[in-house]
Chains A and B, each alone.
Chain A
Amino acid sequence: AQSVTQPDIHITVSEGASLELRCNYSYGATPYLFWYVQSPGQGLQLLLKYFSGDTLVQGIKGFEAEFKRSQSSFNLRKPSVHWSDAAEYFCAVGAQYSGTYKYIFGTGTRLKVLA
């Protein structure tokens, strides 16, 4: 079955430290891949997306993600975390499922940033 796995439920980093959030997906072909961020009580904001081409994609707020086909992974990274990055991060796959193009989300990784 198609799925998205985010193995880290919680991650804590110090402000200024680097960050990597893991995402693995299961799908028969290369899907469209997304990272969204959600602040408490808010909706989802798109950070970045991958369709094809360069496997390293840049997003907003200084985030980037790398697609690795061989590992079915799409990990999110940021070189230096800011306190305002504390939020929940969701990896998602966009693909045709049962004839409908829709999105399958991972369970999310909650990021805590220490001052």
Chain B
Amino acid sequence: DTGVSQNPRHKITKRGQNVTFRCDPISEHNRLYWYRQTLGQGPEFLTYFQNEAQLEKSRLLSDRFSAERPKGSFSTLEIQRTEQGDSAMYLCASRQDPGNTEAFFGQGTRLTVV
């Protein structure tokens, strides 16, 4: 098991374009989180999945953001009509419950909106 994998690692897009990020959690981890980290800040919670069910979305997640986790395996985070304020590092984490209380993070996807 190589840990949590995120793709792409970097994405540069023009304002108004749609982007999609993928997260492959540690296999058999049933909990999956998306966080956003801007420069000089700690990660901020965006959304949470228990298996395929999206159980919570932060108020940070506007209508332009959508996340899915079909079949409870990998997850995608899509941002529609990107804005410059969406520029950030998007981090995915997973854990197994019961079993872990700590989250295992991926390397992140760095999004730059120009």
Contact = CB atoms under 8 A, between A and B. Distances in A.
Interface of A: 4, 9, 32, 34, 36, 41-46, 49, 51, 90, 92, 94, 98-108
Contact of B101 (A32, A106, A107): A32
Interface residues of B, number: 26
B101 A100 contact: no
Given A44-B43, A90-B42, A106-B42, A100 B105 contact: no
A6 to B, nearest CB: 8
Interface in B63-104: 91, 93, 97, 101-104
Contacts of A98: 56
A34 B43 CA distance: 13
A100 B48 contact: yes
A102 B102 contact: no
Nearest to A100: B56
Contacts of A4: 42
Interface in B42-61: 42-45, 48, 55-56
Given A41-B110, A43-B91, A105 B42 contact: yes
Contacts of B106: 43
A43 B35 CA distance: 11
A49 B41 contact: no
B75 to A, nearest CB: 15
Given A43-B107, A44-B91, A100-B55, A49 B40 contact: no
B25 interface: no
